[in-house]
Structures are given as C-alpha cells and as structure tokens.
Structure 1
Amino acid sequence: MSYVGCIVSLDCGDTLGNYQGQVKSVNDDTETITIDKCYRNGIAYEIAEITINARDIRELSIIKSAEDAQDIVSIQSTPMKFTKEQMDAICGGTASPVKVVNCSDYLYNQTRTPSKDKNSYWTTNNGNSNHRRTPTSKDEQTKQRRNSGGDIGAKAKLLENKNKLQNFQASETRKKVTPSRKIECRRKLMNREDCFSAPSESFLKEFDFEKNLALFDKKAFFQEMENSLPEVIRANDRKQPAKYRHDENILESGPVVLCKIKVPCFSEKEYVTDSGLIVPSISYDLRTRLLSAAEEFGFSKSRRLETVGRSTTEMILQLVGGSHRLNPKNDHQLPTVVALCGPHIQGAQGIACARLLANHNVKTYVYVPNFVKMDHYVEEELSLYDLTDGQKTSCARDLPKGTVDIIINALDNHENMVFRDQSWYRSLVDWANNSKAPVLAIDPPQQGSLINAKWCLSLCLPLNLREQCGQVYLCDLGLPRQVMAQVGITYSSPFGHKFLIPLHVKS
C-alpha cells in the first residue's frame, strides 16, 4: 500500500511532539518519512516540509486517504491571526507567522480513531532502529495502543493544547473583532444621507405655535369624548357639584373698589400699591394733626418710634441679603450699616433702627452731632444703643473707610433746616455722596434732602415727596379707623398681610 498523499499523524513522544501533515515521500533505505504542510502540536510549523526518522516515531496514524486529502488540500487557505509571541505563549516553542490551511479543521478536530483498512498503522519495536517497521493488523495495533501508557499522555497533552488554542482565539476575537463591528456600524449610521438631506430653507422659517394651537378645538374634542361615553356615566357627571380651588372665591362679590382711602384735603399726588389699591398723599399739616390725635388716644412718640425702628430694621435686613447673609456659617461676611442721625425725632428713629440691627449681629456705626442739649428721645435711644456692640462717633473722620452696605439718613426733619449750613452737616453730605453705598431716608421732608436716597420710608400715609427721595415705602403705625376719623380721613388698610409695602406713583 502506498502512503504518499495521505494525511497522517505522527506521535514522536513528549520531547519532539505530535506532527500532522500530508505524506510527500517514504524512503525505505534511510527509514525516513517526509511530510509537508506540517503542523506541530496542532499549530502550523515554521517549516512547511520536514523529514522524520522512523526510530523517533512511536505511533503513526492515517487520518485521511490520498483521495480524501486532495479535496481538503484544494480548499483555499486563510491567514494566520497569531503573532510569533502569541504562538510561543501557546505551544512553548519557536513559531513564525505562516498560513494555515483549512485542512487543519480535519487534522486537529478529528478524533484519532483507527481506519477501516487493516494495514493502516505502522508500529515500532520499542524504538529499536535495527528492526524494519512493518504494517500490522487493526487488532494488534489497538492492543498495543491500550498497553502503551505514553499514548494516553500524548492525547492528554494534545487536548490541553487544543483548549489553550480555543481560549486564546476567543480572547482575540473579543479584543479585535467586536470593536471593529461597532465602529463599522457607527460609520454606516453617520454616512446615511437621510440624516443630512433636509434642505436648510426648512429651518429658517419660524414655527407659528399660536396658529398651530388654534387648529385644535378643545371644546369640540371634549364634547366628542362626552358623547362617546354611556348615558349613565354622563348623567352621573352632571349631578356632581363643581369643585373649587382653595384660593377661588365661591361667593359672588360686588365690583372691586380700588380707592378705599379718602382724605379731606386735596391730594397733589396719588400712589398705587402692588395689588392696585390707590393711596392718596396728604399734607404735612394733616399728618401732624393725625399724630397729635393718636397721642391723645395713647399712641405715644416712644410707641411710634419703636414701630418705625422695627419696620426699618426688617426692610434693611432683607436688603442686605436676609438669611443668605446672616447665618452662623457666614460670620466673616457680616453687613455694615451706618446711621447718620440728627438731634430730633427722626434721629431717634435712626438710632432705634441701629440698635435693633446690632441685636441681629449687623455691624453698626451711629453718627450723632456733639450737641450740649438734644431731644430727650435721642438721649434715651443713645443710652439703649450703648448697651450693644455698635460703635458711636461725633466726627465724620471716624466713619468707616471700607465697604458699607447701607446708609441710614436721619439728619433732616420737617421744621428746622438750619443744620444744613453747618460744617458737620456738609461733611456728612460729602461722605455719603462719595460713598457707593445706597441710602435709605427715614421720614424725609417734602422738599427732599441734600443726600440722594434710593429708598425712603413714609409713616401712616405718604407725603407729596420729590423724585430725589427714591422709591417710597409705607410703614404701618397701627392707627385704628376711629383715630383716622378724628381728622376726617376715611381709612381702609392697604397693607394686607404686611407691615411695610412699596408705593408707586399713579400715572
């Protein structure tokens, strides 16, 4: 029988390994066999054609006959995907990039089972080179293979190499094949013409939302839904009473009256609250008579002074930042307020405000002129202010040179204007106007002040103030209607849920 052209498997022991390939020639004289397309331990060998001596062969198995081998070898080869380093890591030997033919599927994956031909095996006499190798029968070969312990070890090593190869191929497939597929998929999506084929003119025209919304008739849609419901459900819906929100007025009220305050004198200017109520202005004489009537009913100046100081303090605390500025975690950024106070009731109101601000950990500076004789309300407020940590001065040069959050202007009163010509007053005006801090004026006179203010605070009812007084805020003194009626004022509180409201000039 000629073995040339057959695909064989040669077991050469643990040292040389297992070789597989197609028999090219058999030399009986030198007792050698030459195979090409060689595989060593399941991996393509770096030398395609090798010659093996018969004494090195422990077992020879014919895997495919010459006719079947021609069909396998004719299949086109595929490139090897492993580098030399990778192959060395798998088989532990020297390897180089070669091409693997598809017949490796047959050489490697086929189980080495005996062929049907009874003369299909070569055996050796325990590796003795003096005896000629002759074919034996199938039964003898099977018996020798069972008695040979080395063949079992070769099979185990071959199976181990097979598992290593499969695991390595799986890892390389995850690293290389999968990402490339994702990238190719993304490129295909990015190159689609339908993503970028829309004309640019379609984006230049603005979409008319109101016109599109007008095309949808809500009433007709809900009417159609109600008509589609069963008659029983529609009858039950009609019996249910209408539901109102907590802020809706269930009872019908009369027309809204915005002008609820009437004064006996002509009002030169009218103000409007945020809710739309009209607040007329009054003259200084009418307000003086109103405060005198309030004192007769028990509303003393000290009570009024504390109320004005409390309202001014609440306003300033909100202006300087409120809870964001005044909290235990923000002690390094405490606001600074300077109160410029004169020797009259307006000055006492400014000192009372500074005292309340100091109780809220605000840095306060109070300026009071060094007069021998002042109003006793001012002296009382100064004695109370001395109980706080605030600073007091009678010299303009001792005022803070750094940043000031708000300046309280309480220098002017409605009756005596002689202080404006004195040097201490002018120095304070220069300091306040040169400072970048906003100014809040407490109860300024109608003709205004030399210090430009951003806000001003009026008491009970506003006066006809000039624009240089700034935004007008109205303070609630808590005077009842009967006190107002004593001077001919029809009064209805415009404050609502607040004690301090802004006023806007009615156009």
Structure 2
Amino acid sequence: TVHSKFQSIYSMGEFIGAQLQLDCGPLLGTFVGTVVDVSNEKVTLRDASRNGLPSDTSEVTLHRSSIVSIVMLQSKDALAAAATTSASTETAKQQPKKQQLTATSASATSAAAIAKQQRTAEKLMSIPNATPAYICSSPPVKAPSHFSGSNKKKQQQPKDSPMQQQQQQRGVTPTRKTPIGEQQYRQQQDTSASVPGNNGGSAFVPYRGSKLPQQNASAQKQQPRHNAFSMSAGDMMDDFDFEGNLALFDKQAFYAMVDSGQTPEPDLVRTAQPPQPEPKLRPDQSVLLPGGAAPAAPSIQVPCKVDCQFATDVGLPVPSVTEELRVAVLSAADKAGLTAARLAEAFGRSASEFLVQQMGGASRLQPGNQHQLPQVAVLVGPGRRGLMGLSMARHLANKEVRVHVYCSERELAASSELAQEVQLFRTTGCPVVHSCRDLPWLLDYIVLATSEPDSPEHTLALWCRSNRAPVVGVCPQQRNPARLECKINLQYCLPVPVDAGYGSTYLVDAGITKHVYRQVGILYASPFGHRSVVQLHAAN
C-alpha cells in the first residue's frame, strides 16, 4: 500500500507496529523501520535503517514535512506471525544449550579431582631439573579418523620412554612439539586453550597423518558476517585527516635510514644484490686486455722544449713546437715533394669544410636556400698564409658561398705565386677587391690570412674591429701587434703557442707524412682520427 505525503497523518495510527519505508528525498535518504508512534507532526520508527545501513540510535523520528512518500513493507499481523515463528525456532535452538548446561554441571563435580591433579603437578614442577609440562583439565581428545590419511592401515606409533609413562600415570603430560596442522585443527574446533604452567590447559592430541582436516566449504559460506557489516553509518561518515597523518611522517629521516642501509622492520632482510653483468666492450677496446682497456695511444715526441701542452677532445696529447722547428718540417716536406702549393691545397680543403660546418652546414647550403647564402671575406697577403687563404676562398666559392677576397695591388705585384692563385680564384666568379671599403658589411666570417695589420691603427685592423663578424686567423703570428680578437685560429703541422687574443686553437691536417717528421727528429702519431680538423685544449 502506497500513501502520499498529502494524506492526513492521523490515518496512519492504524499502522502502528507495521514496517514502513519512508522516502525523505535525496538529502535525507530512505528510512525503513517499524512504526512505534505517530503524532501530528512526526513519525517515530524502531530498528530503523537509513539507505540500507543500520542507525546509531534505537529510534528515529522524522518530521512530516520531510517525508516525500510512504510504502508499507509488512503489516502488523505479518510481523506478529513472523515473530511467533522465530520464537519457536529459538526454543528449538535453546534445547541443545540446556543439554550443554547439564553437562557443565556434571563436570563441576570433578573439580576436586582436577584440583588434586594441579597440586600434584605443582609438586612435580618444584623438583629441580624437571621437565616442563601442561596440566590436563580434561581427558585426551581422540583425533578424527581422517587424520590418518588415505591409508587405512594402522600406523605404528613410537613408544614413550619410562619417564614419560610415569608422568602420564601421575596426570602430567610431557611437553612435545605440536605440529602446525594440529594447532590449526585445535583453533577450528574451539577446544579449550592450553596454557603452560599451573593455570591448566588442554591435552595433547597426537597428529601423524599426511593430510590436514578439510573444512566444509558450504558451512563456511553459511556463517554470519556480522563483523563485516556491523560498523555504524556515523563511523563511515567521518573524514580521514590526510594532512595530519602526513605531517607525522618524517620523510627526511626515513630517506636517511634507507641510504644508511637500515630497514624500518628489524626482521626485514635486505635482498642480495644480483651479480653485475660484464661490461660490454666498444669496437676500439681489446678483449685480450683486462677490463677491455684500450692500449695506450702513441704520443708525439718532439726534440725541443714544450712551452704548451695541448690535448684533443679524446685526450690525445699534442705538444707545441717552436717556429724554427716548424720551418724545418716545412723545408723537409718541400724536399719530399710537398711543395707550398700542395700544402696550401690540402689545408684549404680541410679548413673550408670546417668553416662550412661553423656557418650552419646543410641548413645554410641548400639549392632552395639562395636568399640567405653565407658570405665570407678573406684578407690575403704574401707567403704561405696568403696561399692558404686563397685556397680556402676557392673551395668555399665552389660550395656556393659568397666569397670576397681582399689583396693589395702592391703585394699582388710582388709575388708571382700569389698572382697565380688570385687568377685561379677569379675563375669562380667571385670578386677580388684592393680596398677594404669595397668589402660588404654583412658577413658570416672574416678570414685573416695576412700579417699586414701591424698596429691597432692599421686600416684593416680598424675595419675588422668595426665589423661585427667573427674573425678566423690562419696560422697567426705568436704576437698580436694589431690587438685583434679572433674567435678561431687555424694551425697546421704542429701548433705554435700564440697570444690568447687569437681564440680557440684548431689543428688542420695538411697531409704531411711521418717520414717528413722523422727527418727532423719528431716521433709523430696522427691525432686526427676520422676528422680533418681537431680542437686543441691547453693542458697547462
């Protein structure tokens, strides 16, 4: 029967004792209980539950205005019939309990005998070096038949010693180790707990079977689950204080304990570290040497005083030489067939590739990138430095770099080799100018391959300082009379110490052979590897 909230509540007086379901909206929820009282403004329920959870109080009172709808679940007569049935069932359940009480009263008559056994046990335990014992308050429990396993033959049990037989006759059971299966069986059967000493306990049940007693699965499922659903609704509504509990945890102390090798639990055993695998070797490491260590790289030995010790990126040592020793190497190379033009060609090829990478490489030199090609100005003079600068300019021009060469008319008329190289450079279509005013201002690099600026007030020195492009020096002088600040200085053969204003030192492979170095007393080993230009770092 469904009653609307608009019906008079006085008509519900006949429902006192019935079980109703009251819907109080989403805020209060749904209440189910037995009606015990009805007034003009409120309804009182007994044994009520809210949203399926039992209430904390024995009675719940609801106001009339909060009730949305009412549904009768069981009438007063139906509840009375159910109560009569449950009472008869409870009477049937209490009969075994009465029999148990009778058995308990019968066991009380043997209290005097049990007390006598306890006094006997106390006398035995007062004997020095006596064996500890359990006091038996009840006769030994016979083990179930399924303890013997699937084998139906009676297993032979070990005989007790004479001392153990005497103790059994006196009412004392000797201490024995109880198997784990027997302890589980005792706990499941709810037998009397055994307490060592003078407080009494249960007797020892021998267990020699091969299988543990199996519990009935259906019986376990039918057991009540009051422990799981006995929590009140108020306890579950309380919020957990996460911030307060987090403040109690000291993370720094915990991390320090873990780092020191300690563990939070004393019985926690730290697992052993697995064996570390053997390190994998690179292709340049030897499998015959211990640890795969590579053999010591051959070093360069020079017959002069080393003013500055250099080293490559991979750590290969490169000593510095004097200007006189480098002139001797170049003279020996010229006698071997490596003329100045050949050395300049090898130097220009390696140095131009290095400079292209410094300007952006493939991102700048592309067929579809004609609007932002790199632009370089090369300042050349007489001698080997001028020839190397012109070789660099020609190779850069062949890579579509916009190159502008500066060479004075006086120096061009004084050197035939320089005039020949300038004529070869003109075939690239790039301009050759004789005044620094004709050079462009927007440049990527300035290559200084001349010793003409001999003072800070020189025209070329003033122009280089006024232009913002970085300067690259080609085999610069040891001193810096023009006080120019270079970003890179390129050297060949072996490095010569130069002024710190020339920037980072790079060594260029010019193709000089070991035989040429050996003629001047240098034990040479190539520091280049797979590259043509390597950077040198000062070790001292």
How far residue 461 of structure 1 moved from its aligned partner, in angstroms, is 0.8
SS in 1 for 2:535: strand
What is the CA–CA distance in structure 2 between the aligned matches of 1:380 and 1:209, rounded to whole Å? 79
How far residue 328 of structure 1 moved from its aligned partner, in angstroms, is 4.2
Name the aligned partner's letter for residue 459 of structure 1: Y
Task: Flag the 1:339–1:196 CA change in 2: closer, same or farther, 3 A.
Answer: farther
- The corresponding residue for 1:311 is 350
Contact 1:475 1:499 in 2 (8 A): yes
Contact 2:22 2:68 in 1 (8 A): no
> CA deviation digits over 1:281-322, x for unaligned, max 9?
222222222112212211122211111111211221121122
SS in 2 for 1:318: helix
- The corresponding residue for 2:512 is 479
How far residue 243 of structure 1 moved from its aligned partner, in angstroms, is 7.8
- How many residues get paired? 329
- The corresponding residue for 1:327 is 366
- The corresponding residue for 1:251 is 288
Contact 1:367 1:394 in 2 (8 A): yes
Matched, 1:458 2:491: yes
Q: Which runs of 5+ in 1 are unaligned?
A: 1-6, 8-20, 23-36, 39-67, 81-98, 104-187, 226-236
Matched, 1:362 2:401: yes
Contact 1:476 1:500 in 2 (8 A): yes
What is the CA–CA distance in structure 2 between the aligned matches of 1:369 and 1:388, rounded to whole Å? 20
- The corresponding residue for 1:489 is 522
Contact 1:306 1:352 in 2 (8 A): yes
How far residue 443 of structure 1 moved from its aligned partner, in angstroms, is 0.8
Aligned pairs for 1:30-45 within 5 A: none
What is the CA–CA distance in structure 1 between the aligned matches of 2:511 and 2:413, rounded to whole Å? 32
Contact 2:341 2:387 in 1 (8 A): no
SS in 1 for 2:289: coil
What is the CA–CA distance in structure 2 between the aligned matches of 1:218 and 1:405, rounded to whole Å? 62
How far residue 213 of structure 1 moved from its aligned partner, in angstroms, is 7.5
Q: TM-score, normalised by structure 1?
A: 0.53
Given candidates 330, 352, 376, the residue that maps to 1:291 is 330
What is the CA–CA distance in structure 2 between the aligned matches of 1:250 and 1:342, rounded to whole Å? 53
Given candidates 426, 435, 454, the residue that maps to 1:420 is 454
Given candidates 476, 480, 501, the residue that maps to 1:444 is 476
Task: Flag the 1:77–1:299 CA change in 2: closer, same or farther, 3 A.
Answer: closer
Contact 1:355 1:385 in 2 (8 A): yes
How far residue 196 of structure 1 moved from its aligned partner, in angstroms, is 6.2
SS in 2 for 1:307: helix
How far residue 410 of structure 1 moved from its aligned partner, in angstroms, is 0.7
Name the aligned partner's letter for residue 260 of structure 1: S
- The corresponding residue for 1:222 is 274
How far residue 473 of structure 1 moved from its aligned partner, in angstroms, is 1.1
Name the aligned partner's letter for residue 279 of structure 1: V
What is the CA–CA distance in structure 1 between the aligned matches of 2:350 and 2:444, rounded to whole Å? 18
Contact 1:258 1:278 in 2 (8 A): no
What is the CA–CA distance in structure 1 between the aligned matches of 2:531 and 2:270, rounded to whole Å? 41
Task: Flag the 1:199–1:397 CA change in 2: closer, same or farther, 3 A.
Answer: same
Contact 1:344 1:374 in 2 (8 A): no
Name the aligned partner's letter for residue 327 of structure 1: Q
How far residue 201 of structure 1 moved from its aligned partner, in angstroms, is 8.2
Q: TM-score, normalised by structure 2?
A: 0.50
Contact 1:345 1:377 in 2 (8 A): no
CA RMSD of aligned residues (A): 4.7
What is the CA–CA distance in structure 1 between the aligned matches of 2:374 and 2:258, rounded to whole Å? 49
Matched, 1:279 2:299: no
Given candidates 416, 426, 446, the residue that maps to 1:386 is 426
What is the CA–CA distance in structure 2 between the aligned matches of 1:476 and 1:304, rounded to whole Å? 9
Contact 2:312 2:537 in 1 (8 A): yes
- The corresponding residue for 1:48 is none
> CA deviation digits over 1:441-462, x for unaligned, max 9?
0011222352221211111111
- The corresponding residue for 1:401 is 441
- The corresponding residue for 1:116 is none
What is the CA–CA distance in structure 1 between the aligned matches of 2:340 and 2:392, rounded to whole Å? 15
Contact 1:474 1:501 in 2 (8 A): yes
Aligned pairs for 1:232-271 within 5 A: 246-252=283-289, 257=296, 260-271=299-310
Name the aligned partner's letter for residue 337 of structure 1: V
How far residue 256 of structure 1 moved from its aligned partner, in angstroms, is 5.6
SS in 2 for 1:420: coil
- The corresponding residue for 2:86 is none
Matched, 1:199 2:251: no
